[in-house]
């Protein structure tokens, strides 16, 4: 049996019946799936809850073990008398690596394939590396500074890139901090700092003080040198690693130029220099040794002619 419409389209009754039966089967199948899902839901929820509880227990135990391992490593580094910066870096590195291993284990436990996870981490690492090129350069520089140790905490350095100088107060993974003489904090990126030349003024236990004094030609040179020597010998900050030198540097137009070279403790150079100059000036004044200043006699031509006329 069939129906004929005005557009001569024929719809078979069998076709309608088959479509209805197919739809009924799909609905029945969907209902069965929902019924089966609801039936298995408690068991699946219990299994997932058990896995989640196990993961929490593993994470708790792992955190305790990681803290123990970090404590053991720190004590070992302290006993080995390693630099404080290296201790901090090693502690941070161990913490990151161990927690990464724990997370990878838990991810595989929940069904994530380790190969896929490693590939994902690799891709993410490349993307992060491209986005953070400057920061990674500073990180690499920080690692090099910690391993090669061109300077350590407490050293007074001067970098040649920008001319910054000061006492090193912190060596981090990304930045190094300097404290200047006038109590300013300078933060230097480790990348450029590791790739530029620098001067470590306190790498040696002593530094050489080079100072000059001018005395008049009428002053007693031997007396002046003796006074300087007594001041140097009376100060415990002066070291006797090499003999001190007190000498005549040059004979200038209006003064005798005396040079002084002495070894001083590295961390006390500036304080000693300031005290030393003050003591030398006081000693020269007490002993009548004149410190000359530049003098210039000016003769005006008109005044000179008038003076000659008056004399006549």
Residues 152-186 have pLDDT tens digits of: 888 889 988 888 889 898 887 788 899 998 889 99
- Asked, colleague to colleague, whether 138-200 and 206-286 share their fold, the answer is no
Pairing of strands 175-179, 2-4: unpaired
pLDDT value of residue 223:
95
**Residue 196 reports pLDDT greater than 50:** yes
**Residue 38 reports pLDDT greater than 70:** no
pLDDT value of residue 5:
47
CATH topology for the 206-286 domain: Alpha-Beta Plaits (3.30.70)
pLDDT value of residue 22:
65
More confident residue, 256 or 126: 256
Considering the chain, what is the average pLDDT of its residues? 79
pLDDT value of residue 2:
44
Return the structure tokens found at 85: 């910066």
Q: Which of 122-126, 182-186, 228-232, 257-261 has the lowest mean pLDDT?
A: 122-126
H and E: helices and strands count for the chain: 8, 11
Return the structure tokens found at 80: 């080995």
**Residue 257 reports pLDDT greater than 90:** yes
Give per-residue pLDDT as tens, 199-222: 888 878 888 899 999 999 999 999
More confident residue, 265 or 246: 246
pLDDT value of residue 247:
94
pTM across the whole model: 0.51
- Is residue 36 very low, low, confident or very high in pLDDT (cuts 50, 70, 90)? low
pLDDT value of residue 14:
62
What is the Cα Rg of the chain in Å? 42
- Is residue 3 very low, low, confident or very high in pLDDT (cuts 50, 70, 90)? very low
Averaged pLDDT, 29-50: 67
Averaged pLDDT, 58-73: 89
CATH topology for the 138-200 domain: SH3 type barrels. (2.30.30)
C-alpha 239/C-alpha 153 separation (Å) is 23
- Is residue 44 very low, low, confident or very high in pLDDT (cuts 50, 70, 90)? low
pLDDT value of residue 8:
47
Compute the residue count for the chain.
312
More confident residue, 16 or 75: 75
pLDDT value of residue 286:
94
Q: Dihedral sign, CA of 62, 63, 68, 70?
A: positive
More confident residue, 256 or 29: 256
**Residue 273 reports pLDDT greater than 50:** yes
Find, among 169, 191, 192, 196, the residue nearest to 180 by Cα.
169
Domain boundaries, the chain: 14-110, 138-200, 206-286
Give per-residue pLDDT as tens, 291-305: 887 766 565 666 555
Q: Which of 51-65, 85-99, 183-197, 265-279 has the lowest mean pLDDT?
A: 85-99
Give per-residue pLDDT as tens, 78-119: 887 776 767 777 787 788 888 888 888 887 877 777 666 667
C-alpha 142/C-alpha 70 separation (Å) is 21
C-alpha 60/C-alpha 102 separation (Å) is 11
More confident residue, 231 or 3: 231
């Amino acid at each position: 049996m069939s129906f004929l419409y005005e557009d001569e389209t024929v719809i078979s009754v069998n076709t309608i019946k088959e479509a209805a039966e197919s739809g009924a089967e799909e609905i029945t199948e969907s209902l069965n799936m929902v019924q089966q899902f609801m039936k298995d839901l408690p068991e699946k929820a219990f299994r997932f809850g058990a896995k989640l509880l196990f993961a929490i227990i593993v994470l708790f135990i792992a955190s305790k073990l990681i803290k123990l391992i970090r404590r053991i490593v720190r004590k070992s580094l302290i006993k080995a008398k390693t630099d404080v910066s290296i201790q901090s870096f090693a502690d941070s590195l161990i913490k990151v690596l161990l927690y990464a291993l724990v997370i990878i284990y838990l991810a595989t436990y929940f069904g994530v394939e380790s190969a896929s996870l490693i590939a994902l981490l690799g891709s993410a690492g490349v993307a992060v590396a491209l986005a953070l090129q400057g920061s990674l350069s500073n990180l690499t520089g920080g690692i090099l500074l910690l391993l090669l140790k061109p300077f350590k905490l407490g050293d007074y350095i001067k970098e040649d890139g920008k001319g910054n100088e000061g006492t090193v107060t912190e060596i981090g993974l990304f930045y190094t901090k300097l404290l200047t003489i006038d109590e300013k904090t300078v933060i230097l990126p480790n990348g450029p700092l590791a790739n530029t030349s620098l001067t470590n003024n306190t790498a040696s236990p002593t530094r050489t003080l080079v100072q000059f004094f001018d005395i008049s030609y009428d002053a007693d040179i031997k007396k002046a040198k003796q006074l300087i020597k007594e001041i140097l010998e009376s100060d415990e900050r002066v070291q006797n690693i090499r003999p001190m030198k007190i000498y005549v540097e040059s004979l200038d137009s209006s003064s005798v130029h005396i040079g002084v070279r002495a070894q001083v403790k590295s961390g006390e150079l500036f304080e000693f220099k300031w005290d030393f100059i003050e003591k030398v000036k006081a000693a020269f004044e007490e002993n009548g040794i004149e410190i000359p200043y530049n003098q210039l006699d000016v003769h005006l031509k008109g005044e000179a002619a008038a003076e000659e006329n008056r004399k006549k």
